[in-house]
Structure 1
Amino acid sequence: MKEFKLENGQKIASGFKTPDNYFDSLSAKVLEQIEQEKEAKVIPLYKRKKVISIAAAAAIFIAFIIPTANHYYKASKELDEATLETYLAYESNLNQYDLIKELDAKDIDKLNKNVALEEETLEDILATNPNIENLISE
């Protein structure tokens, strides 16, 4: 293999040329740009990320707490009528006579106002029910 010497090879002319007296005014231009950059306000990123992460954590915390708290408060305060009726019918030793004994005059008046049966409805119930004698005796 032939020895390659960098000094003896063909030189390729560069396509870049510096303007005349470019390096004489370069340091003045650089110093001028540095002084202008000192006036700019710098906001560090680590402080910004901390605020964003705290806000995101608070939003996630609230998103989990609201449905949970809402569920517990509603469930504990309200008693469903169907649940109460089912409990009294199947789980307790109460019968209809025990319930009637606990009613006072105001409760009976409320029941009379709320129950409005038409004659046709009564006739249909009595006609379709095979145990008419039991209904009459109760």
Structure 2
Amino acid sequence: MKTFKLENETKIESGFKTPDNYFDNFSAKMMERLPMNEPKVISIFHRRKNLFLLIAAILVLALLVPTLYNYSTPQKSNMDAAALENYITYQTNVNQYDLINVLETEDINNIKISMVLEDKAIEDVLSLNSNLENLILE
């Protein structure tokens, strides 16, 4: 390969040339071409302030929605009867005496059922029940 030396080769001249004395009065010509009235300047900080207000409002709403939802929904104070019965049935450490101690007189009056049992029906149940001794002891 032939060695290439930059200084020895012919150089191509640029196709762009500036006119003579172009830069001497360039700034004066440029100032003449600029418009006399200046455009309205809008501050970046003004938009930023609105953005901060928007973010703060969204944050306040995000924090208030769960709180307002909890206050607006009614709390279920009374339990479902089936759930309560299942709980009492499957808890082996709860006996009738515990229930009697917890119940108030109003609750006991609500539990009372006016059911008339005939003597024949009672005799039939007692004769068919093999746990008669347990019932007597309780």
Settle same-fold status: TM greater than 0.5: no
Question: Whose helix fraction is larger, Structure 1's or Structure 2's?
Answer: 1
Compute the TM-score of the two structures, normalised by the length of structure 1.
Answer: 0.44
**Rg bigger for which structure?**
2
Compute the TM-score of the two structures, normalised by the length of structure 2.
Answer: 0.44
